[in-house]
Amino acid sequence: MPIHVSTTRTLKLTETADGVLDICQGSGALLLRYVYKPSTPRDESPRPYVHPLSTLSGECLTNLRPNDHRWHHGLSYTITTLNGSNFWGGPTYKKDQGYLFNTNHGFQKHVSWIEQNAYHLSHLIHWVGSSGILFLIEERSLVLTLISDLSWCLRWKSSFKNVSGTQLLLGNYYSSANLKGSHYSGLQFRGARDLLDEHGDDSITVNADGGLNGEDAIHSRSVKWVEWQCQKDSTQRRVQIRFEDNLRPFPAFIRKSQPLMAIPFQYDKDICMDINNTFEIDNTLTFTDL
């Protein structure tokens, strides 16, 4: 179990309802809620998600089922298309038809817990296709670390194994249908509305390694990290969210207008996954009150 660094804060885990875990600070303030048995509609590709997720000062950073894309679920993990099943949610894009809703939605199902405490959640998840075929078994690990009284991080690690008995094709709408820029497979962060800030303050922006600044410069570029500076409504408090891939540079997916940030595991080519093969992801998100 990771040791929290902060000397003034502790965390507590409570199961507040069937399939819902709350991790709170010692003061009782909710830090995050992990819904591992979601009740979201089937056409949103149900999957475990984190929402709300907050800074240590209590600023909520996530959005659940926003009216522009109701299949955006706080912080969650997705594969856009997997052997024809849509695990991203919403309409499916095809080159000759555009976006259309159909019945090809897959879902993620919690199977069993491996570890469950306030600093480490680990469980097994089944990825089931639209026809009921079990494609992947995922072992997911969420590790929380209190860095200081202003900052904490969430490390999201997963190992996926192909148990379908056949080769699997993992893709997105850019790699599979040439829809430029639509490479949002991977860890998805749908931000709260008031993370959007365009009032002209140069200190409120998005940056990435290599000196990149701004959505146009960062989107689709291969980077090691992205930092998003924001200012919350009402409190006027400034916050920073840092996105990192601990294994490799990633093709950043960013949409400030929604706001949305993703750490994709693939970009311009579909991934072929052989029988019984595995792949791993390891991402860290750091949330800081400035």
Name 234's Cβ contacts closer than 8 Å, sequence gap at least 6. Answer: 194
Measured CA distances, 264 to 10, 183, 252, 253, 283 (Å):
32, 7, 7, 7, 10
Q: Which residues of the chain have pLDDT under 70?
A: 1-7, 197-199
Q: Amino acid identity of 180? A: K
239 closest CA partner among 188, 197, 183: 197
Distance of alpha carbon 172 from alpha carbon 49, whole angstroms: 20
Q: What's the confidence (pLDDT) of residue 2?
A: 46
User: Which segments within 173-245 are labelled E, that is strand?
Assistant: 186-190, 206-208, 212-213, 222-223, 225-231, 238-245
Q: What is the pLDDT of residues 41-61, one digit of tens each?
A: 999 999 999 999 999 999 999
Which domains are assigned to the chain?
11-289 (2.70.98)
pTM of the model: 0.95
Give residue 6's pLDDT.
56
Q: What is the pLDDT of residue 202?
A: 78
Distance of CA 215 to the CA centre of its chain: 18
Residue 7 has a pLDDT of: 58
Q: Which two tokens stand for residue 3?
A: 């040791």
